[in-house]
Structure 1
Amino acid sequence: MFTQLIIKNFRCFDMLELDNLKLITLIGGRNNTGKSAILESLFLAVGYKNPNIFLALAAGRNGNGILQPTPQRIWNPLFYMFEKNAQFDLMLLRDTGIASTLTMRKISDESVDLDVNTDTVTNILKQGYNPSSLGSYFFSLQYEYTLDGQKSIGKFSFEDKKIKYISLSVPKKEAQLPIVKAIFYKSIYIPDNTTIAEWISRLILDGEKDLILYVLTSFDSRIKDITTIVENAVPYVYVILHDGQKMPITYMGDGINKILQLLLCILTTPKGVVLIDELENGFHYSTYAKVLRVLYQTALQKQCQLFITTHNVDILRESANVMRKLEQLDSVCYQRIDFSQGKRHAYSFSGEELESALDIQLEVR
């Protein structure tokens, strides 16, 4: 579990420190304070070795879904003020006392052949950029990952519009530590139907079917069973109703599909991290307590750390209530991000402090 996150020169943050992180960490604040960027920093800090993570982060910020695969479009937005800084640092502290720092910086890439990217170069020139500075659009991203004093080095570069990962050194300590798996649940990152079916099949074999059914039936009493059916070599999830009818789970409504997806994310990520952007979306307010109890109870059981952004005071209130009833109020915290005088700050509330602030109707969103 991570207990501290320090962000330097990443996205909208020149410097941000989040302390006293808990198994359930709620993140709030006004629009444009950087809540989603915090989730992105965690996603990158844990999964930085996967070249596709950069494309995923860029896609998550690109509303029309069209990506121009160049360092300028994919990597520059990761840096504070885009080109103002050429290095960012993401520092994490674990509850075991082990600290890690991911440093990424821009370096020139002499191996890039601009002829391979003729279409991209043409598009850049059409936007009015000076041809003499064209080389600055094709740079590599070098990383240094320091774990408990030991450093590994590598880099990412573009080759024919694809990102290539090259590891230059790996410390022994990094290889010995268990890998922390992270899942980012956001509108653009929702697991597809095939992935959901594969997860369901595996969890049924692992003996988790009763829990999945309990959750589904608590949201829709018509459901009797759940199964996967292969059609044209593609697996799909079906629910079986009490009248014997089989129905694709996708026909059961957005709310029940979302709670199933979130539950599966946690069940398949024991001792890992699940990042949830704006949890309240897709749920009626009357279901908040039920949704949160399912997610928090499962996270506690699997020791899966949740980072959840929200604008909703009812989510905060029900989170405190649920964790109080579970006798786990010390396992939740709230990080309120504030933006004033050009700076962003994080104010940390323990579970007790959040509960007290809500009781006196203090504005904490």
Structure 2
Amino acid sequence: MLKEIEIQNFRCFEQIKISGFERVNLIGGKNNAGKTALLEAIFLNVVPGNTSLAILRYLRREPSKAIEAMPDRAWDNLFYLLKKERFIVIIGTDDNKNINKVEIKVEINSPDSSIIIAFMRNEDAFNGLLEIVPPRSLMRDRSSAIDEVPIIPSFIKISGRELTEAYDNARLDDKDSEVLKAFQILDPAIESVESFSIGEPTLYVRRKGEKRLPLSLFGDAMNRVAHIMLKLVINKHKILLVDEIENGIHHTSQREFWRVLFRLAVELDTQIFATTHSLEMLQAFADVGLEQNQECSSAYFELARKLKTNQIIGSRLDLETLNYALEHQEGVRGE
């Protein structure tokens, strides 16, 4: 389980070190405070494969044709203040003090602006080059890998086909019931979820006393919850990253949704990182984390910029401190 991360020269981070991660972690802060970039850095540290950078471009909706048009500048915005002459360095430390170090550099002098990803498992044992791949290859391979990554962006909606395939995988592992339980948090009248492959693979939902209907007719919240739950239960990386977790989920359902996530994080031995702008989601997180007999450890992290230097810092709040701040209306989202 990841306990600490140090990031250098990546996105909006010149240098930052955040410690004290728990089983479930919620991240807040103002706009452009680095919440999404932190999830991306964790992703690159956990999944440093040859398609990871291209996946981040896709999740940011960056045009792939920019690579062909300007190969020497296509990856500039990965680097702090576009300083691509320096390595991006992301160092993760787990609860056993094992260290994963990822270094990323664009070879500017290369004719195709190849990406070099170096990987180190501890501070003194360099294992050599993991990948050297041209950006065109990265973008070509991205589509086959996007379904398997443990990150859920705030705005990209998963397709019905992808959702149905993920549900069928969950069924093979006898974990499909978790999707139904999560749907019933949003709508207690839902009694079944089924997948059909007549024409386009589609998930169907049935409410009590009604005919089954495609999931797409039940609104974005159901699709979002299905995406989160399926990423969680079929996750081979043992980590889940969710940007703006509150999207689509009504405040009256948020506490019960956190209870499901806390329970599954323990049962599936999976670590969860999520960002939020929602005060209601923060309160629900604190309430559930402080419940008696709660077995899942959790913490809140706030990202903010220093007034004098504009550098981003990360502060850890345990749930008692978070709850006190919420009760006394103290700023806990970068205010």
Q: TM-score scaled to structure 1, two decimals?
A: 0.80
Change (3 A) 1:188 1:310: closer
1:88 Cα deviation (Å)?
A: 1.0
Query: How far off is 1:332 after superposition?
Result: 0.9
Secondary structure class of the residue paired with 2:280:
helix
Q: Structure 2: which 5+ residue stretches go unaligned? A: 141-147
Q: Which residue identity does 2:41 align to in structure 1?
A: S
Alignment partner, residue 61 of structure 1 = 60
What is the CA–CA distance in structure 2 between the aligned matches of 1:364 and 1:329, rounded to whole Å? 25
1:363 matches 2:327: no
CA–CA separation in structure 2 for the residues paired with 1:252 and 1:78: 37
The equivalent position to 2:228 in structure 1, one of 251, 256, 262, is 262
Q: Per-residue deviation at 1:22?
A: 0.8
In structure 1, the residue matched to 2:207 is: 241
**Which structure 2 residues correspond to residues 287-302 of structure 1 after superposition, within 5 A?**
287-302=253-268
Q: Does 1:221 align with 2:221?
A: no
Matched, 1:346 2:314: yes
Distance in 2 (alpha carbons) for counterparts of 1:182 and 1:313: 28
CA offset at residue 67 of structure 1? 4.0
Which residue of structure 2 aligns with residue 145 of structure 1? 119
Aligned residue for 1:238, secondary structure, equals strand
Contact 1:140 1:155 in 2 (8 A): no
Percent identity over the alignment? 24
Write the mapping of 1:1-80 to structure 2, written as runs, cut at 5 A. 1-51=1-51, 53-62=52-61, 67-70=65-68, 71-80=71-80
Which has the higher Rg, Structure 1 or Structure 2? Answer: 1
- Do the aligned partners of 1:59 and 1:67 also contact (CA within 8 Å) in 2? no
> How far apart, CA to CA, are the structure 2 residues paired with 1:223 and 1:264?
18
Letter in 2 for 1:162: S
Please give the alpha-carbon distance, in whole angstroms, between the structure 1 residues aligned to 2:181 and 2:58: 35
Q: What does residue 158 of structure 1 align with? A: 134
- Cα RMSD after superposing both structures: 2.4
> Which deviations, in whole Å up to 9, do the C-alpha atoms of 1:108-152 show, x marking residues without a partner?
454x3xxxxxxxxxxxxxxxxxxxxxxxxx422222211024323
Using the alignment, how far apart are the partners of 1:210 and 1:154 within structure 2? 38
Q: Which runs of 4+ in 1 moved over 4 A?
A: none
Gaps of 5+ in 1: 113-137, 166-180
**Residue type of the alignment partner of 1:3:** K
Kept in 2, the 8 Å contact 1:249–1:257? The answer is: yes
Aligned partners of 2:203 and 2:215 also within 8 Å: yes
For 2:93, the aligned partner's letter is: L
Q: CA deviation at 1:329?
A: 7.7
Q: Which moved more, 1:335-344 or 1:181-190?
A: 181-190
Q: 1:253 to 1:14 in 2, by over 3 A?
A: same
- Displacement, 1:231? 1.8
